[in-house]
Amino acid sequence: MVRAGAKAGLLGGAVLLYAAAVGMLVRLDELHLVGTQVTLGRVLLVLPPFVAAFLAVRPRVVGGRVEQPGPPAALAIGALAGGVTGAVGAGGLALVDAIGLDRVRSVFVAVSPALVETMTFGRGLGLGAAILVLGGLGLGAVGGIWRRVRHGLRRPVEVGLLTVFVLGMLQRVVPFMLDELRIERDWLYSRVTRGLTWVGAVVVLVVATAAAAYVLDRRERHGRAPLEEGRPEVRGVRRLVLAGIVVAFFAALPQLAGSIVSEIMGTVGVFLLLALGLNIVTGYAGMLHLGFSAFFLLGAYSIALLTGANLVTAFGLVAPRFSAHLDFYVALVLVVLIGAAVGALLAAPVLRLRGDYLAIVTLAFAQIAVILATSSWLQPITGGPQGLRDVTKAPLLGIGFRSAENFYYLVLVACVLAVYVSWRLAWSRTGRAWNAMREDEQVAEAMGVPTGRYKMLGFAIGGAIGAIGGAMFAVKVGTVQPGSFEIIQSITILAVVILGGLGSVPGVVLGALVLLGLPGLLTQLEEYRFLIYGASLVAIMILRPQGLIPNVRRMRELQEEERTQDAWQQIFAARQEEEAAEGATEAAS
């Protein structure tokens, strides 16, 4: 157990040093969550010892028995883990000091005086190191004992803290909304730091904790409502009302939250479309597609060329060699068809490839698309690295959709349609065929599912939705440049789908909101966006492969499996009882 504590502490220390060395601590120190004291950087500084201690005292199975340290032991081990974490941090500081800050900085660019200042809380090296170690000890002790706190107390407080954190992170949205609703907000959000005020944070903490305690208590007493309760008609109405509320909220968002949020939500919408497309290929049909940025590119360039965008050349704006001057909405239909056709055509020869090879081939396609779009060879059509300009504003009845608010509505309509299509597809015959194919291709084939055809269909529909996303993006930005469609976008889209939950439409929506909305809202996070995407891909695959909001059907299938197992067990137990009874009567006679 002591070893576990030390090990967790070392890991925590490594995380701490990592966050420091990549510059996160300093950069995120600018983001005030509560008052002037609590910044996101400080949260990052405080979390490692706490989490290390919390993990160090987790129950373990030793020799078939669950072992968990008692409260005093938990306190001690936790303190050890936290102390080691702090000591590693302090050791790092001392090492930097010994070598000389400037010399370290010539290699590790993020090790700056500001970093030392942040890590020592501006108190100088000696005192700062002492604070790190002692603070680590204290936090570790709390973290260790936290594991032993009764659930009924622990969960509500955790929910409360999380609520404060989320409200702090949404500091560019919520205050604006409160202003629009003419609700006094100065008690909650500070105008100076932009974060929560202490008063506001405490109020939020208390309210959220109490609410969570009430809900959890009720659930404890009445049991959790089973999935899908009630008669089907009631369920349908309930679902419609819920959907209506969600749509109404999103429809009112630009009025409530202003143009910055509209702008960000526009980007979220574009990527949501792409992710919904990928979700069909990868989530429904189970084929890993690493080249989805190709459809993004395809949609954007097609719409630009079909609606008469211009090339940027040394001689000014020129019409590209192939172009048409169609109305945006006519062109959009064509783009959908192009997306579907290209999706199916590219898929045709590679359908027989096994999963991982298919993934790499799709990646290769996407890379070829970007190289071709950039090349001088196709420059007369695609504009080369400069790309195309003057993409249509998608005018409809005299209204253009370039401005953030208007574009938001355009993309919202597209997203709602795509969500509807995804949702209907999931429960259709096609959806079931995909499902079967995903679970086991050979069995599906044997049961008479023409897998080749359904794979192509998946690629076609996914490609069509992705191409719409590309077209929307072109309208939003007004220019099309190959740099926007690099392979990294494919991985971003993949991260959205994986984080949300493969095959789960609400999951994909949440994934897009988190992975694209948050970095947009908090410019401090923007720099670490891809770092976070990468880390979350790894973490999700290891810790929660089903994603944040798992696919309902799969969950239900699993539950049903359990239920049938239970039923079998009951039958089995009953039979055994019967046999035992029979045996007893036989013995008696």
Partner 1 sequence: MSQEARTTRTLGRFERLPTRRIVLVALSIGIATAVAYGSYRTLTLPAGQRYSGSAWRDFLVLGVAQGAVYALIALGYTLVYGILRMINFAHGEVFMAGAFGSFFFADAWERSGFLDRRPVLAVLLLVLLAMAVSVTVAVLLERIAYRPLRGAPRLVPLITAIGASLFLQNTFRGLFGAQTRGYPKPTALEGTWSILGIPVQRVQVLVLVVAAAAMVVLTQFVSRTKTGKSMRAAAEDQEIAALMGIDVDRVIVTTFVLGGMLAGIAGVLFALTFGNISYFMGFAPGITAFTAAVLGGIGSISGAAIGGLVIGVLQSIGPALLLTGIHVPSPFQLKDVVTFLILILVLLFRPGGILGTGEVEKV
Q: List contacts with partner 1 (CB under 8 A).
A: 18, 21-24, 107-110, 288, 290, 348-357, 359-361, 363-365, 367-368, 371-372, 374-377, 379, 487-488, 491, 494-495, 498, 528, 530-531, 533-538, 541-542, 545
Distance CA(85)–CA(17), nearest Å, equals 9
Cα angle value 267/337/286 (rounded, 5°): 70
**Of 353 and 416, which CB lies nearer to partner 1 in the complex structure?**
353
Shortest separation between residue 431's beta carbon and partner 1, angstroms: 20
Smaller CB distance to partner 1: residue 270 or 493?
Answer: 493
Cβ-based nearer residue to partner 1, 376 or 585 = 376
CA distance 348 to 536: 32
Element (H, E) at 524: helix 523-526
Nearer residue to partner 1 within complex by CB, 7 or 172 = 7
Check: CB of residue 303 under 8 Å from CB of residue 445. Answer: no
Shortest Cβ 6–partner 1 spacing (Å): 18
Specify the residue, 269 or 500, whose C-beta has the smaller distance to partner 1: 500
Q: Which two tokens stand for residue 344?
A: 């199916």
* Alpha carbon distance 65, 62 (integer Å): 5
**Nearer of residues 86 and 384 to partner 1, judged by Cβ:** 384
Q: Residue 370 CB, nearest distance to partner 1 (Å)?
A: 9
Q: Tell me how far apart the alpha carbons of residues 551 and 539 are, in angstroms, rounded to a whole number.
A: 19
Q: How far is the CB of 355 from partner 1 (least distance, A)?
A: 5
Question: Could you tell me the smallest distance in angstroms from the CB atom of residue 110 to partner 1?
Answer: 6
Q: Which residues pair with 189 in a beta bridge?
A: 196
Nearer to partner 1 (CB atom), residue 164 or residue 514: 514
3-state SS, residue 290: coil
Kindly state the smallest distance separating residue 20's Cβ from partner 1, in Å: 10
375 vs 559, beta carbon nearer partner 1: 375
- 287 and 281 Cβ atoms separated by less than 8 Å: yes
Residue 32: which H helix or E strand, with range? strand 32-34
Q: Is the dihedral of CA 368, 370, 375, 377 positive or negative?
A: positive
Cα torsion angle, 303, 306, 307, 311, sign: positive
Residues paired with 313 in a beta bridge: 316
Size of the chain in residues: 589
- d(CA 216, CA 152) in angstroms, rounded, equals 8
- Residue whose CB is less far from partner 1, 18 or 420: 18
Q: How far is the CB of 384 from partner 1 (least distance, A)?
A: 9
- As measured in angstroms, the least distance from the Cβ of 100 to partner 1 is 14
User: What six digits make up the tokens of 351?
Assistant: 């359908």
Give the residue carrying structure tokens 């989490």: 51
DSSP E strands in 314-427: the ranges are 316-318, 388-389
Q: Supply the minimum distance, in Å, between the C-beta of residue 490 and partner 1.
A: 9
